[in-house]
Structure 1
Amino acid sequence: MNTWVSALAGGVLIGTAATLLLWLTGRIAGISGILGGVVMPRSGDVAWRVAFLLGLIGLIGAGAAWLWWAPGAYAPRQGFPPLLLVIAGVLVGFGTRMGNGCTSGHGVCGLGRLSPRSLVAVSTFMLTAIATTYLVRHVA
């Protein structure tokens, strides 16, 4: 299957799932907000969050099973310094908190709702990603 076909199919599935969650429950499919609601729970608002996160864990398990079943299908990048990965994770977490949401919440759900705040957030995410990629690949 072509890369663009699987990417398109994945995007359609993510968009459909986020839309159904919003239409059927009025909830946003932003991962940081969903996880935050499990870490700092409110009464009666945890079960759906846990179910959502378990579904994501199941998807990760499905990906791991695919790698086991078809080991040559995908070669993960290796050689990243562990400290750099930890620093990157902390910065992503900080940015998520500072931006009041993550890429899934702003990019998939916020833009779909025509949120100006999400447009600014996604523009910031993308410009930062482009600049970082350029610096890492061409300057450093």
Structure 2
Amino acid sequence: MLIDLNHFTPGLSLTGGLLIGLAAAVLVLFNGRIAGISGIFGGLLSWPRNDLGWRLAFLAGLIGAPVVANLLGKPAHSEIQAGWGEILIAGFLVGLGTRYAAGCTSGHGVCGLSRGSIRSLVATATFMAAGFLTVLVKRHLIGG
């Protein structure tokens, strides 16, 4: 295994992880809500919307964080090696999976596991296994 030391950022990764944990803890302590992105976003699409403010603020923070990082000189750059068709299909499958799993990776992985939820443990193990299997098939069995 090779580690690209030019892009190895354990300090930024730790800081990001701590901020995610802090945001999840603040949301559950002060609002009694789980910081699962699919649930937060899905709540914007349902009626009645009596909790619009915190949902928009949370999503604005998700979008705003990379903008602030870029302004501070730490550009957030990623390269997606897929076409729009693949991205749309992947997005649809992720959305479908979050409905079947009753939540997304952030809700189950960050919040559910920290609460000791067995359902979240099973869901997170399934997410991870599917990701590992996808990489194995894509990179090693069919090439890519």
Shorter chain as normaliser: what TM range?
Answer: 0.7 to 0.9
1:125 corresponds to: 127
- C-alpha change, 1:100 and 1:59, in structure 2 (3 Å) is same
CA positional deviation for 1:77: 2.0
Please name the residue that 1:107 is paired with. 109
Q: CA deviation at 1:8?
A: 1.4
**Selected match of 1:30 from 33, 36, 45:** 36
Question: What is the Cα deviation at residue 74 of structure 1?
Answer: 6.3
Q: What is residue 59 of structure 1 aligned with on the other side?
A: 65
Deviation larger for 42-51 or 30-39? 42-51
What is the alpha-carbon distance in structure 2 between the residues aligned to residue 78 and residue 118 of structure 1?
A: 28
Does residue 1:3 correspond to 2:9, yes or no? yes
Instruction: Give 3-state SS (helix, strand or coil) of 2:114's partner.
Output: coil
Give the letter for the 2:120 counterpart: S
User: What is the letter of the counterpart of residue 138 of structure 1?
Assistant: H
- Aligned length in residues: 136
Going by fraction, where is helix more abundant, 1 or 2? 1
CA–CA separation in structure 2 for the residues paired with 1:109 and 1:78: 28
Distance 1:135 1:17, change over 3 A: same
2:24·2:111 contact (CA, 8 Å) conserved in 1?
yes
Contact 2:69 2:76 in 1 (8 A): no
Gaps of 5+ in 2: 1-6
How far does the alpha carbon of each residue in 1:2-36 deviate from its partner, in whole angstroms, 9 at most, with x for none?
52222112111111110111112211111100001
Q: Counterpart in 1 of 2:46?
A: 40
TM-score, normalised by the number of residues in structure 1: 0.86
Q: Please tell me the root mean square deviation across aligned C-alpha atoms, in Å.
A: 2.1
Percent identity between the two aligned chains = 47
TM-score calculated relative to the size of structure 2: 0.84
Q: CA deviation at 1:43?
A: 4.2
Distance 2:60 2:68 in 1: 12
Residue 118 of structure 2 is matched in structure 1 by 116
Deviates more, 1:38-47 or 1:19-28: 38-47
